[in-house]
Amino acid sequence: MGRGNLTIQAERIPHEASGQDRWLHREIGAGSYLRTVVLPSTLQEDQAGASHEHGVLTLRIPKAEKAKPRRIPVTVGS
């Protein structure tokens, strides 16, 4: 992960059909994938984490403390 950018690269290897496999239609093809996403500057990139389960990649990048909402007390009247 570069400064302000997140690059995800993956490769899907074709599944060879065995004698019992039969497909009517396959929507996800084999090949290489590369995506780059520009991240907002309000993230803590050094705290990033990722997991991969059941074909789903999940990324968690927390917001910086300065980017989180704050409560500001307001006094009414004098």
Q: What is the pTM of this model?
A: 0.56
Strand pairing category for 31-38 and 5-12: antiparallel
Give the pair of three-digit tokens for residue 13.
């290897």
CA distances from 63 to 40, 47, 53, 67, 69 (A): 9, 9, 24, 6, 10
48: exposed, middle or buried (C-beta count within 10 Å: 0-12, 13-18, 19+)? Answer: middle
What CA–CA distance (Å, rounded) separates 47 from 61?
6
Lowest mean pLDDT among 2-6, 28-32, 36-40: 2-6
Residue-level pLDDT at 42:
86
Domains recognised in the chain with CATH numbers: 5-66 (2.60.40.790)
Per-residue pLDDT reduced to its tens digit, 45-74: 888 899 999 888 899 999 887 777 788 888
> What's the one-letter identity of residue 23?
W
Tell which wins on pLDDT, 16 or 49: 49
Evaluate if residue 2 carries a pLDDT over 50: no
